Amino acid sequence: MLFALSWKNIWRNPLRSAVVIASIALGLFCGIFATAFMNGMGRQTVDNAVTRELANIQLHEPSFVEEPLPSRVIPGADSIFAALRADTSVKAVAARTGVTAMAATAKTGAGVVVKGVDPVEERRISRLPDDIITGNWFEGNRRNAAVIGGKLAEKLAAKLKTRIVLTTQNREGELTGGAFAVVGIFETSNSTFDENTVFVKRSDLSRLIGAEGDAIHEIVLLLKRNESTDSMAAMVKNAYPGLSVRTWKEIQPEVGMMESLMRQMMYLFVLVILFALSFGIVNTMLMAVLERRREFGMLMAVGMSNRRIFSMVMIETVLLSIAGGVLGMALGEGAVAATAKTGINLSSLGKGLAAIGYSPLVYPYIDAGFFGGLCLLVIVSGIVASIYPAVKALGLNPADAVRSET
């Protein structure tokens, strides 16, 4: 009965109630969409790092992590590669050769990281071949072919078929070099990666550094589920204690920190909005209580208990909050669903975003479980906001309230 009475009381002044519900809905809509936008940026940054640069897990010879010398290959790499590929939680595995080098053209030079890859393996584990904007991803059997980033191409004044001389150390620690022809230029959302990375065939790089067969410095794993990264890394560490096993969070901790920060900000951002809206709810309910002094006085005079008076005011406030919350969540979910497929294009800020590793096309995303927590926050906010008006109603003197004109 109290719920039905409270709902009727809300609409005794429909304009005021509608304004409160609209303000709650608008505030939650903005909070949900802003949260989804930030969450989408965070997810894309992690996804780009995992699917284009790092994969989920990387294995190295321990000293290679400290100083990436060509002689520090992974012992027994072929058997390790085969065993990891057989794991059901692994989506793809790739082996790489990696060295630091000086890349030079006729005009200038730059320090780079050279990754020797198997083109077929790399296509299974990385989406980088899809980011080729000019040329191709090692098509044909051409020797000493190279794929470079667009930023590096600008820096070296290089284009397709330009010859780049890569100078590095061989396995004996002596300087060696070779000329590679640019066959493809890629462009990702991370301009730093584009400026510092050169991809060549693993067989070509192994020959350059004087390795017998393919020198494997790095084995990378792409998992079917990103959430299983830590558990899989623990299993690999137990299986191969003599190797350095690192997750993408350990290799680029700033990306992992950003993902964690985004998750924390989701609730904090909405909590701040609800806190601000609570003051408007308190003000509205306090006005309603003062306008209904005579009504409350009569209810007290005929024997309605303080507990029921308190409950009625509290229920009215919570119902207002829930009505606004449901409307706001519906609008927010609708806006997120509408932009999740097409994305939001921030190309006007593209260069600045790329410099810090963000994509200019953002796909808002919000987890379904977020709305469960949000419902709880809305109800708690309504309860908290109702306390002062309800206490004010209990403070009325029945005799004075009955004589009141309002």
Domain ranges (residues) in the chain: 2-49+256-403, 62-242
Give the pLDDT confidence of 331-340 residue by residue, as tens digits. 999 999 988 8
Give the pLDDT confidence of 28-54 residue by residue, as tens digits. 898 889 888 888 888 888 888 888 888
Give the pLDDT confidence of 341-362 residue by residue, as tens digits. 888 877 655 555 555 556 667 8
Question: In whole angstroms, what is the distance from residue 70 CA to residue 73 CA?
Answer: 7
Question: In whole angstroms, what is the distance from residue 360 CA to residue 353 CA?
Answer: 6
Question: In whole angstroms, what is the distance from residue 81 CA to residue 79 CA?
Answer: 5
Contact between 288 and 324 (Cβ < 8 Å): no
Contact between 232 and 57 (Cβ < 8 Å): yes
Rg of the chain over all Cα atoms, to the nearest angstrom: 31
- The gap from C-alpha 144 to its chain's centroid, in whole angstroms, comes to 37
List, in sequence order, every residue forming a beta bridge with 244; answer none if it has no partner.
Answer: 60
Reported as type and span, the H/E element at residue 398 is helix 398-403
Over 70: is that where the pLDDT of 403 sits? no
- Write down the residue that tokens 């990696």 correspond to: 98
Strand, helix or coil at 281? helix
Which of the residue ranges 20-34, 93-107, 349-363, 373-387 has the most confident prediction, judged by mean pLDDT? 93-107
Instruction: Characterize the bridge pairing of strands 57-60 and 244-247.
Output: antiparallel
- E-strand ranges in 224-280 read 244-247
Contact between 182 and 153 (Cβ < 8 Å): yes
Give the pLDDT confidence of 200-236 residue by residue, as tens digits. 999 999 999 988 677 899 999 999 998 899 999 999 9
Confidence of residue 119 (pLDDT cuts 50, 70, 90): very high
Question: In whole angstroms, what is the distance from residue 184 CA to residue 161 CA?
Answer: 9
Contact between 351 and 150 (Cβ < 8 Å): no
